[in-house]
Structure 1
């Protein structure tokens, strides 16, 4: 992974470019993939669930959604087809094919 711009070897690469390369290598998805999902999240998820669940990662075509309450895991799973349809409508390619739900601790 190049940390320096190839055209100007003495200039450091932009952090965004390095992060994007790193994310593609780790997860197979670009930084812009999760950014796009986050930007459209309020239109994808039910408004009542919005404060309690957040898309956190894309890995091997799987979108991970973190929830703050164990009871929401099943709710997100029930709505997974609707969520997948909303996410897939954002991209030309099939970048996301499944959803995984994980529990995260709520910060106080």
Structure 2
């Protein structure tokens, strides 16, 4: 038996909204801490995982260029190798974190 009482509609809407909020809370708990700080931390982790190998590659390249002068720039090659290693490292971290969902 359906009634046309607006209070019944309001109660049903309120119950539905409460249920949706509870479901969002449960999903958030299952997924873990995916806050803004988590995103910034992940962004920093990826940045450093690329920056450190790049700088190390550049330093090794500079050392090789000073010790063994040649026609080719080992500094540039060190930077390229460092970026490639850093990107692979960042990709590995992102896949690792993406698998936790």
Give the TM-score normalised by the residue count of structure 2: 0.25
Larger C-alpha radius of gyration, 1 or 2? 2
Higher strand proportion (structure 1 or 2):
1
- Which of 1 and 2 has higher RCO (CA within 8 Å, sep 6+)? 2
Give the TM-score normalised by the residue count of structure 1: 0.24
